Structure 1
Amino acid sequence: MLSSRTRSFIAGVLVGNSAPHLATAVTGHRHLTPLAGRDSGPGVNGLWAALNLLAGLLLLSPDRHRAPGRWNGDLVAFETGVLAVAAWMAGSERLLGTNTRP
């Protein structure tokens, strides 16, 4: 079983990854997803955003090892996951033009 910090980090990656796909769905653009590749339209991006957000939230749900209430070091792990996926996305766009070049 994964530690709560590892689950929080992965949840941060998933929740962070949902944001650009949700923005793509709302604005009607195309954005790469594993579901339909480079040609993923708004509907596919909306679905991918929802799947990522749901999975991230499920990983954050309380369990017997973590009491509800205030965050502990898991918050830093979650934020690090969000930062890691944001850095990856920014870097891949800047260097590879993953979603901006035909």
Structure 2
Amino acid sequence: MRRRAMITAAAAGVLCANSLPHLATAAAGRTMLTPLAGRESPAAANALWGSANLLAGLLLMRACSGSSAEAGPRREAFGIGVVAFSAWAVMGERLLGFNSAPHPDGPP
């Protein structure tokens, strides 16, 4: 059970970290890749995708929360998920150019 809770906490970290660029993109009224509408997903799609990721991450973290004695390792696993996603996102952007298409309004 402990291993499952740690994996769940790491997945929660990945989902919460993934929500941030989508929510920021939506707030800025820009486009960014989502599974909902592809590479040029509008702000509304990013808001929906970012909100869904944040909600799912928070629900997963809530589901795996145990006693306060178990909170430390689960917070660490959450942080590992955040770091893993962040590294993947930076490398994916650098190597694969997920969001490299020029923006119609000019440079970002």
Q: Structure 2 length as normaliser, TM-score?
A: 0.84
**Aligned match of 2:106:** none
**Aligned match of 1:6:** 7
Question: Identity of aligned pairs, percent?
Answer: 47
Please state which structure has a larger fraction of its residues in helix. Answer: 2
* Structure 1 ranges of 4+ moved more than 4 A: none
Q: What do you get for the CA RMSD once the two structures are aligned?
A: 2.0
SS of residue matched to 1:75: helix
SS of residue matched to 1:38: strand
Task: Decide which moves more: 71-80 or 17-26.
Answer: 71-80
- Counting matched residue pairs gives 101
Please state which structure has a larger fraction of its residues in strand. Answer: 2
How far 1:31 moved relative to its partner? 0.6
Q: Do the aligned residues in 2 keep the contact of 1:62 with 1:68 (CA within 8 Å)?
A: no
SS of residue matched to 1:32: strand
Which amino acid is 1:27 matched to? A
Which amino acid is 1:56 matched to? G
Unpaired runs of 5+ in structure 1? Answer: none
**Aligned match of 2:55:** 54
Unpaired runs of 5+ in structure 2? Answer: 103-108
SS of residue matched to 2:84: helix
How far 1:68 moved relative to its partner? 4.6
Task: Decide which moves more: 21-30 or 66-75.
Answer: 66-75
How far 1:100 moved relative to its partner? 1.8
**Aligned match of 1:32:** 33
Q: Do the aligned residues in 2 keep the contact of 1:30 with 1:42 (CA within 8 Å)?
A: yes
